[in-house]
Amino acid sequence: MKIVKVEQGTDARDQVRVGKVTASMMDSVFAAPGKKSYDVAMNNLVCDLQGVERFFTEDEPWFEHGKEHEAEAIFAYELRHGVDTWRDVFLIHDELPWLGCSPDFLIGEPPTEGGEVKCRRYVASYMDSIHAPENRYQRLGRAYFLQIQTAMLITGFERWTLVNYYIGGENAAPREADRDILRDDAMIERILER
């Protein structure tokens, strides 16, 4: 994999991503043409490739909440596991230069592990995520599962950590839970086909 060190939320990062299918959009790639998520993702790729401004931006409240609390969630993860992480990278597949991902953190130099952080806005969504029933997506929704499997496709890693984090609130303390997601080679083949 190619590692591009670039700060999240900058124009430089946006330029590295131009025209690439990213792990976070893989669920949209799997959606049927004509579905809103598929059409938005494909239209955004076309906008990128044509050099015109996208008509869809990621300014949803959940997205802003995640950006606001991600650093503290990663710091809490580092303390729990006694590791140092590094961030602000964009990873590109060695043989498929149009495929990339922005992991929330990496561990090791060179990296041997990666992680995705989900900062929950409500304690109920945090509880739902850590008590998810067993299913074919390793207790994740399809979108997160595809995102993480695509990251493992790009990196070659055998597992990826999903960090669930709830900042706490008036009636609830902060909560943190980690889950190792294992590489699923059958799903990775489906991702490559798609």
Q: pLDDT (tens digit, 9 = 90+) per residue, 113-160?
A: 999 999 988 888 888 888 888 777 888 889 999 999 999 999 999 999
- Compare 1 and 55 and report the one with higher pLDDT: 1
Q: How many helices (H) and strands (E) does the chain have?
A: 7, 8
Q: Is the pLDDT of residue 185 over 90?
A: yes
* Alpha-carbon gap, residue 9 to 114, rounded angstroms: 19
Residue ranges per structural domain of the chain: 2-193
Q: Is the per-residue pLDDT at 173 higher than 90?
A: no
**Entry pTM:** 0.88
**Element spanning 117, H or E:** strand 113-120
Whole-number Å distance between alpha carbons of 191 and 177: 27
* Span 10-43, pLDDT tens digits: 889 888 988 899 999 999 999 998 998 898 888 8
Please tell me which residue, 174 or 147, carries the higher pLDDT value.
Answer: 147
> How far, in Å, CA of 42 to CA of 39, rounded?
5
- What pLDDT, on the 0 to 100 scale, is given for residue 60? 61
Q: What is residue 136's predicted lDDT score, i.e. its pLDDT?
A: 78
Contact 12, 6 (CB under 8 A): yes
Taking 90 as the threshold, does the pLDDT of residue 188 lie above it?
yes
Q: Is 58 exposed, middle or buried (0-12, 13-18, 19+ CB in 10 A)?
A: exposed
pLDDT digits (tens, 9 = 90+) for 81-118: 999 999 999 999 999 999 999 999 999 989 999 999 99
Residue 129, H or E segment: helix 123-130
Task: Please check the confidence at residue 58 and state whether its pLDDT lies above 70.
Answer: no
**Class of 2-193 in CATH:** alpha beta
- 51 vs 117, more confident: 117
pLDDT, residue 167, reads 86
Tell me: pLDDT of 57 over 70.
Answer: no
Amino acid 43: pLDDT: 86
Rounded to an integer, the average pLDDT of 55-79 is 77
